[in-house]
Amino acid sequence: MQPSPTPPRSTTVAWVLLDWAASSFSTVLITLIVAYVEKVAFADRPWGLDAGVIWPWTLAVAMLASAILTPGFSAWADRRRRHKTALIVSVVTGVAALGLLAAAPPSYRLVVLAGVIVGNVGFDLAAVFTGSLLASITTGRLADRLSAWGFAAGYAGGAIALVIATGIVTAHASLGLSAAGGLRLAFAFTGLWWLLFSLPAAVARFDEPANGGHAATATGELLSFARSLWRPDDAAARQLAATLLGSMLVLGTVQTAIAQFSSVALEEFSLSPAALVRLVLLVQAVALPGALAVGWLSETAGRRVAVVFCLAGWISVLVLAWFIQTVPQLYGLAGLLALVLGGVQSVIRATVAEASPEGRAGVTFGLLQIGAKLSGAAAGHWWHCWCNYCWAAGPCGGCARPNVRRSRARLPSNTVRQVCQ
């Protein structure tokens, strides 16, 4: 692939807006959608299961669905040179899922869960094709800069969308809506935000590679790409395989750390909904300049230096997390986490975009997405086993038991009531 070294401004702005648009879903998902599922749709345990069990299993089904759909869809996009089309389909899928959540009453529980699952799948697929389109725009230092600007825009857009959505929920009474109705209106707003700011990419021009050297089917394309990674005599293939493996492990660990951080914040510190929103906004606010700073470091000192810096920051977060005891300490740890949160993901996205073989950026990012989720699931399983062992063993060797439980990503029981007041 030979992207233009200086892509048109309209193309770069449209690409950056993809992160701005999609981040609205991620911020609303971890705050308002989880509140709606656990404290409205499943508040009375209609299926005999605690809502804190329903939510993680729903996300697990969404992850499985993404893992099944991503390889074939990304291979199709490569083979047909239709990355932008695949992106549009992914965005429309996510937006339609939010519309489903907004339209269906909470008593339609299967529809609610379907909306959450489909929305997550659309979000995951959109991330794959956002990355693959970066490979068609530029390479080198400009790719680092553009990827960093994308993550920074994502944090800004996600924060602004969350503030507006929370405002809608808070003002539900003045709008003549119930608390659940206010949440559903917020979901409709989020879908509109995601769609509106994705429209520039739908009309922007992205240079697609020549349609040569592809298999006749999507399955054949996948097998061909997999075989290309196992050529011992091909140095470029070995380098790509090493890059993907390292990126999968890092991204999986990062995603698991974020999830566990949220669980500890909710379970152990019993944050109120207002405090939860403040914590999310703090992370967004600090992560924005952090992503830009790491992007600048990668552009000037090299990606290896930037990655080492980010990994050092993540190690510090994991070590310090063992000692936090108070809410102010939790907020301080969140600030440190935010400094390297977007930076490491930004550098990885730029690295994989440049390393992807010509015409196969879709399957490259698709494989990265699946591998990151699998490694994240393995890391999460290891974390739960370790916490259970430490909790059962008790104090040993002078070390106190960790202040952790088997956590579920759930909000306090008074979430909806307090948010809507």
What would the pLDDT profile of 322-366 be if each residue is shown by its tens digit?
Answer: 788 888 888 888 888 888 878 888 888 888 888 888 878 888 888
- Residue located via tokens 């609610």: 112
What per-residue confidence (pLDDT) applies to 325? 82
pLDDT at 372 over 60: yes
Q: Which two tokens stand for residue 168?
A: 């809608």
Report if pTM > 0.85: no
pLDDT at 389 over 60: no
DSSP 356: S
Q: Taking CA 365 as the corner, what is the angle to CA 361 and CA 366, rounded to the nearest 5 degrees?
A: 110
What per-residue confidence (pLDDT) applies to 384? 57
Number of domains in the chain: 1
Domain annotation covers residue 393: yes
pLDDT at 173 over 90: yes
CA distances from 206 to 87, 122, 203, 348 (A): 12, 21, 9, 21
Domain annotation covers residue 237: no
Domain annotation covers residue 348: yes
More confident of the two residues 222 and 29:
29
Helix (H, G, I), strand (E, B) or coil at 408: coil
Q: Which two tokens stand for residue 372?
A: 């990151």
Q: Which of 41-50, 154-163, 199-208, 344-353 has the highest mean pLDDT?
A: 154-163
Q: What's at 64, amino acid-wise?
A: L
Distance CA 17, CA 20 (A): 5
Read off the CATH number of the domain in which 107 is found. 1.20.1250.20
pLDDT bin (cut points 50, 70, 90) of residue 250 is confident
Domain annotation covers residue 49: yes
Helix (H, G, I), strand (E, B) or coil at 85: helix
Domain annotation covers residue 385: yes
Distance CA 168, CA 173 (A): 10
Q: What's at 45, amino acid-wise?
A: R
pLDDT at 414 over 80: no
pLDDT at 302 over 70: yes
Domain annotation covers residue 214: no
Domain annotation covers residue 216: no
- Supply the range of the domain harboring residue 130: 13-206+246-420
More confident of the two residues 2 and 341:
341
* pLDDT averaged over every residue in the chain: 81
More confident of the two residues 72 and 194:
194
Domain annotation covers residue 218: no
